[in-house]
Amino acid sequence: MRMIERPVRRSKKYESTLQLLGGRDAMFLTLREALTFCAMLGYKERRRLPLDPAAGSEDIAGAQYTNKEAVDLLFALALAEERKSDILRPDRERDCVQIYEEYANGGLDLVHGWIDRFANLDVEEAVWRGLKSIGVKPPVAENALADVVAPTF
């Protein structure tokens, strides 16, 4: 499996938002998972925001991206964006990481707005309301099928 050698950067502008999303007692267990959620959200909403050098950035070591799913999602996002397989060449890793960083930054911007908009709610509820506002449906409960009544003929 291919690993990420280059550190993944995140904007300090949204550091407090990311900390609310990832870590102990948060929606996501790790900052990497929270950042990946934001990258996928940014891609869905076509929010690709370059990191602002004036705001500064923090690194997540490439070693944090040893999880197969995390690496796969990073490369899948780059492939979806570029629509050409040459983006997956080892010498294009920097481009793949940059695409991921920019979509994560766009997703963080969106989540930051939801947290501000729904400030009277906890973070998880604010995110769910924000997701609903862009057409994302909540997961179906496992017992929802038990509520379905079979037709009688």
The pLDDT tens digits of the residues spanning 19-43 come to 999 988 899 999 999 999 999 999 9
Q: d(Cα 35, Cα 28) in Å, to the nearest integer?
A: 9
Report the pLDDT value the prediction gives residue 147, as an integer from 0 to 100.
61
Mean per-residue pLDDT of the chain: 89
| pLDDT value at residue 93 | 93
**Per-residue confidence (pLDDT) for residue 140, from 0 to 100:** 74
Confidence of residue 1 (pLDDT cuts 50, 70, 90): low
Task: In whole angstroms, give the CA distance from residue 25 to residue 20.
Answer: 9
Of 10, 13, 29, nearest to 21 (Cα)? 29
Binned at pLDDT 50, 70 and 90, residue 144 comes out as: low
pLDDT at 44: 97
Q: What is the mean pLDDT of residues 97-125?
A: 96
Q: Which of 32-36, 86-90, 143-147 has the lowest mean pLDDT?
A: 143-147
Task: Measure the CA–CA gap between 63 and 122, rounded to whole angstroms.
Answer: 31
